[in-house]
């Protein structure tokens, strides 16, 4: 029997009482560890986090909590090699792809540690200036933000066991709100939490991890708790329908499906075209396309579609796929047989409306058994013309969570914007061109339907941060199908974990709200 991973709740490590579910190596098919959360006293777990963890964190200033984040970062940094080993084994990712998750998490933690330093020794945030409530300036309204007196429950996705935890936990802990994480890919998340807990750098109750089923977790949520979910739209709808959300006003943040696009503006010069081709091929293959921000639709002028399809295909053909332990491999595995099956079914669905321009099935796997390994080559599909782009309902609605994208030809800029909006709300679109004015206008046109607009011009071709990379400085989330959530965006992320309140009082009382009075 493999190791049964323990859960950390109510301030202690507790094993589930069930047989456990095995986590497998997606390349070798071997069993790695088991997870189980059967028999945990969830009421105790949530109460301990809420009361013990919450009180301890709220007693600290933002600067002190920022120091905690820095200490967490140091602990993780010391065990970085182990995390890479776990990622290779349990996620089947090549080193560069593991880095997106592991180093991405560390970078985000470090950024929030730095932002928190700037907030200083206060324990509430001032929001805007005081506003007069009448002609007499003696009585005014001052808005403040104070940490919510509850727990933050994270129900996370399989594709980012490290970054997915820390991009949420950093702003939560900095806000003074304890965290309970229920990861999908439990091993790496559990190990990171274990290292942090064992190092004793966080107050008891600040950070809990539950490996295994999410059954019963939502039942524990109270009015001042918050829940942040990353995953499928179906599960998101179930979470939103739970009484905790419908009747107890528990705040919920959802990041779900997204049909992100890359858009080459009309009349772009060849250097802009080259940047699009490079970015699309890169985004399709990084983490085997298992990124919620990956490019799924490539919008290009109708007349250039054939040329661009050929250029992307040429790049994809060179991608070596297989066992990430082999140095020559550029793209590793999907996370599981279920995901492999889901990608195959999604491809079938897309092929009912689109043609195959490059077939991932033609890639020979390196050092991996096709009968066992969850590996698949990158596939580029294409729609034959602008009319087909309008008709291809599935291409705008069904996200295939793997190394798959579709070339979508458009007639003119307005048509391109309309097609991008057919995603009904996406996390990100990237724009390619060199006319700054046209790009700025396009960005504002698409800003209401996208949480992020990433613009790649030749002058930043070598230094832009990538279509799919989520930077802590920028909002992560998108409207509609993407779930309507708002994460990151620098200090904006703290809002989710704070409550806004207006304090109406005489200027003498408002003067006492400043840090000194909170000490």
Footprint on residues 94-153 left by a copy of itself (CB under 8 A): 123-124, 128, 131-134, 136, 138-139, 141, 143-144, 146-149
CA distance 46 to 378: 43
- DSSP label of 331: B
Q: Any contact of residue 270 with a copy of itself (CB under 8 A)?
A: no
Decide if residue 460 touches a copy of itself (CB under 8 A).
yes
Tell me how far, at minimum, the Cβ of 183 lies from a copy of itself, in Å.
24
Report the distance separating Cα 266 and Cα 409, nearest Å: 11
What is the nearest approach in angstroms of a copy of itself to the Cβ of residue 263? 13
Task: Map residues 375-414 to x or -, x wherever contact with a copy of itself holds by CB under 8 A.
Answer: ----------------------------------------
Residue of 223, 269, 310, 362 that binds a copy of itself (CB under 8 A): 223
* Single residue of 276, 450, 468, 496 touching a copy of itself by CB under 8 A: 450
Q: Which residue has the tokens 């909002």?
A: 475
The CA distance from 432 to 263, in Å, is 6
User: Angle at CA 514, nearest 5°, toward 510 and 519?
Assistant: 125
Query: Which is nearer to a copy of itself, 59 or 511 (by Cβ)?
Result: 511
Residues of span 461-480 touching a copy of itself by CB under 8 A: 463-465, 471, 473-475, 479-480
- Contact yes or no for 378/358 (Cβ under 8 A): yes
**Distance of closest approach, residue 81 Cβ to a copy of itself, in angstroms:** 26
CB of 334 or CB of 493, closer to a copy of itself: 493
Q: Which of the residues 421 through 440 are near a copy of itself (CB under 8 A)?
A: 424-425, 436-437, 439-440
288-297 core/surface letters (b: 16 or more CB in 10 A; e: else) = bbbbbbbbbb
Q: The tokens of 264 are what? A: 């080459």
Q: 3-state DSSP call for residue 102?
A: helix
Applying CB under 8 A, does 253 fall inside the site for a copy of itself? no
- 203-222 positions binding a copy of itself, by CB under 8 A: none
Name the burial class of residue 405, with classes exposed (0-12), middle (13-18) and buried (19+) by CB atoms within 10 angstroms of its CB: buried
The 3-state DSSP class for residue 462 equals coil
Q: Which region, judged by CB under 8 A, interacts with a copy of itself, from 62-70, 79-87, 369-377, 443-451? A: 443-451
In which residue are the tokens 């490290």 written? 162
d(CA 362, CA 369): 15
Q: Please list the active-site residues.
A: 255, 292
């Amino acid at each position: 029997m493999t190791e049964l991973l323990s859960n950390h709740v109510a301030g202690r490590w507790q094993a589930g009482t069930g047989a456990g579910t095995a986590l497998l190596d997606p390349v070798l098919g071997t069993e790695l560890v088991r997870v189980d959360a059967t028999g945990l006293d969830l009421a105790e777990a949530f109460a301990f986090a809420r009361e013990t963890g919450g009180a301890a964190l709220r007693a600290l200033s933002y600067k002190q909590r920022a120091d905690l984040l820095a200490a967490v970062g140091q602990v993780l940094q010391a065990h970085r090699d182990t995390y890479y080993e776990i990622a290779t084994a349990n996620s089947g990712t090549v080193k560069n792809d593991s880095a997106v998750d592991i180093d991405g998490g560390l970078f985000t933690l470090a950024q929030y540690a730095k932002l928190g330093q700037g907030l200083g020794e206060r324990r509430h945030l001032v929001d805007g200036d005081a506003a007069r409530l009448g002609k007499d300036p003696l009585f005014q309204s001052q808005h403040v933000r104070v940490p919510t007196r509850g727990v933050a429950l994270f129900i996370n996705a399989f594709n980012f066991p490290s970054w997915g935890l820390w991009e949420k936990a950093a702003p939560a802990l900095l806000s003074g709100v304890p965290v309970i994480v229920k990861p999908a890919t439990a091993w790496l998340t559990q190990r990171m939490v274990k290292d942090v807990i064992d190092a004793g750098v966080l107050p008891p109750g600040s950070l809990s991890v539950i490996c295994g089923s999410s059954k019963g977790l939502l039942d524990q949520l109270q009015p001042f708790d918050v829940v942040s979910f990353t995953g499928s739209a179906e599960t998101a709808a179930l979470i939103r329908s739970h009484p905790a959300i419908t009747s107890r006003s528990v705040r919920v943040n959802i990041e779900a499906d997204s049909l992100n696009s890359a858009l080459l503006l009309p009349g772009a010069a060849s250097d802009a075209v080259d940047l699009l081709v490079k970015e699309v091929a890169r985004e399709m293959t990084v983490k085997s396309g298992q990124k919620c921000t990956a490019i799924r639709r490539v919008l290009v002028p109708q007349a250039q579609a054939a040329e661009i399809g050929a250029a992307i295909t040429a790049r994809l053909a060179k991608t070596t796929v297989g066992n990430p332990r082999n140095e020559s491999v550029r793209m590793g595995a999907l996370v599981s047989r279920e995901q492999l099956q889901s990608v195959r079914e999604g491809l079938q669905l897309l092929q009912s409306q689109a043609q195959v321009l490059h077939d991932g099935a033609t890639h020979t796997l390196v050092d991996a058994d096709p009968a066992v390994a969850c590996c698949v080559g990158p596939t580029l599909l294409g729609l034959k013309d602008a009319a087909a782009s309008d008709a291809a309902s599935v291409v705008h609605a069904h996200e295939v969570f793997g190394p798959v994208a579709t070339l979508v030809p458009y007639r003119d800029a307005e048509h391109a914007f309309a097609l991008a909006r057919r995603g009904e709300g996406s996390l990100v679109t990237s724009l390619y061109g060199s006319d700054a004015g046209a790009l700025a206008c396009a960005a504002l046109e698409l800003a209401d339907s996208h949480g992020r607009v990433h613009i790649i011009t030749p002058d930043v071709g070598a230094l832009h941060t990538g279509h799919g990379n989520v930077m802590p400085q920028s909002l992560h989330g998108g409207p509609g199908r993407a779930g309507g959530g708002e994460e990151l965006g620098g200090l904006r992320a703290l809002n989710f974990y704070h409550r806004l309140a207006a304090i109406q009082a005489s200027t003498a009382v408002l003067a006492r709200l400043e840090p000194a009075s909170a000490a």
